[in-house]
Amino acid sequence: ASLVLNFAPKPLAAGSGENGIGIGFGGDAKLLVVQAIDSDGFVTDVDEAAAIVYAVKHGARIVNLSLGGSETSPIERRAIRWAAKRGVLIVASAGNGYEEGNAVEYPAALLQPVGRAAGAESARVGATQLDGTRAPFSNTGSYLSLAAPGSNVFAAESADSAWPRADLPWASPGFYGWASGTSFS
């Protein structure tokens, strides 16, 4: 079983497929949740790097980076390089800014430098719609390695989520609804 560090507020890959709701397909995966994001949704490069190092030192084999921005830093680059050298699969969302100019997003672009061939130690993920076409918000570019469903995904949500909620016809211990973004891909 692999440990997964997930920066996203809604970890789908390791969700329970046996919770009576049908969300998730994690199987025997173990989820290591390391919160690097503060209560306002902000994460510093130092916090990101510390979380990556912590997760890898505690057995993570996959690190999911569902975060991004227009710039990178030496500490972000160093933490990702350090994890990759230890055989950790790094997965990063491509970003949701296509309609605002499709700017290159980091850390995804760190994993696959723009215009260069891909390595097997990372995945840079864009989002598709239900019909398989690119989701209108999903960034594109040569640094992406694949696209997966990321539009109107039914998922567990935090209590303070602004996304539309679903009224489930059975008793539910949490909040569920639809959300979109490359973090879901």
Taking only the tens place, the pLDDT of each residue in 81-104 is 999 899 998 888 889 999 999 988
Q: Which helix (H) or strand (E) holds 54?
A: helix 45-57
Taking only the tens place, the pLDDT of each residue in 111-151 is 776 555 455 567 888 999 989 999 999 999 887 888 888 88
Q: Are 33 and 11 in contact, with CB atoms under 8 Å apart? A: yes
Look at the chain and count its residues.
Answer: 185
pLDDT of residue 100: 92
Considering only CA atoms, which of 93, 91, 88 is closest in space to residue 60?
88
CA 23 to CA 65: how far, in whole Å?
20
Residues whose CB falls within 8 Å of the CB of residue 102, separated by 6 or more in sequence, listed in order: 139, 140, 141
User: Whole-prediction pTM value?
Assistant: 0.78
